[in-house]
Structure 1
Amino acid sequence: MAALAISLGANPASADPFSDLAALPTFYTDASMTTMKSKAEFKAAWDAMAKDKQGAMMKECQDAAMSKPHAEFCANLQALGGAN
């Protein structure tokens, strides 16, 4: 976990690596990140993301404890198959 946080340029003590990813807000329609964008807009944001960031997000979504607070986001990633 610490290695992942360091590789993402995050504080290793961060409890929620999703909050450290600058691209995360691009998947939401609002600044409070409570409303997901449409499937097409979500996919476009995913496709525009760097592969290393995609991999980190997919890895976190596969961790039940980390994905729980981001269930809707992770469900959308799984629906995409996690790939372009």
Structure 2
Amino acid sequence: MNLKNIFLGAMALSMVSGVALAGALDEPDNMAPFFTDTSMKTMKPEADFKAAWASTAKDKQDMMMKECQDGAMSKPHAEFCANLMMYAGHK
């Protein structure tokens, strides 16, 4: 019985922490406006990227900027974050 409780606790913890790791940069709805294709491999040109950024809600912009400034969070999205920092007027 004790082993069962330990296993269930560990599984619940892994599920909760997995959800906590997903951020704004991992949400397809947040990222889709910045890409030309559904696979999100090709980013839009500068003017379209800036327009997509301008139409993004302020709270989402703040979350995306915060994640791009975090080295660990931004690593899988390095090209996107580089563009975001350059085109979003980050100084």
TM normalised by structure 2 equals 0.71
Aligned-pair CA distance for 1:20? 2.3
Q: Mark the structure with the bigger radius of gyration.
A: 2
Of residues 35, 46, 52 in structure 1, which corresponds to 2:42? 35
Which structure 1 residue ranges, 5 or more long, are not aligned? 1-10
**Deviation by residue 1:15-53 (Cα, 9 ceiling, x = unmatched):** 341122522111001111000000100000000000000
Q: Which residue of 1 aligns with 2:84?
A: 77
- What corresponds to 1:62 in structure 2? 69
CA, structure 1 residues 44+35, in 2 after alignment: closer, same or farther (shift >3 Å)? same
- Runs of 4+ in structure 1 deviating by more than 3 angstroms, as ranges, are none
Q: Quote the RMSD (CA, aligned, Å).
A: 2.0
Matched residues, percent identical? 56
Paired amino acid for 2:54? D
| Paired residues of 1:28 and 1:36 also in contact (CA < 8 A) | yes
Name the TM-score, length of structure 1 as normaliser. Answer: 0.76
**Which secondary structure state, in structure 1, belongs to the residue aligned with residue 29 of structure 2?**
coil
1 or 2, which has the higher helix percentage? 2
Q: Give distance in 1, aligned partners of 2:76 and 2:37.
A: 17
Q: What is the one-letter code of the residue matched to 1:61?
A: C
2:41 equivalent to 1:25: no
CA distance in 1, matches of 2:84, 2:59: 15
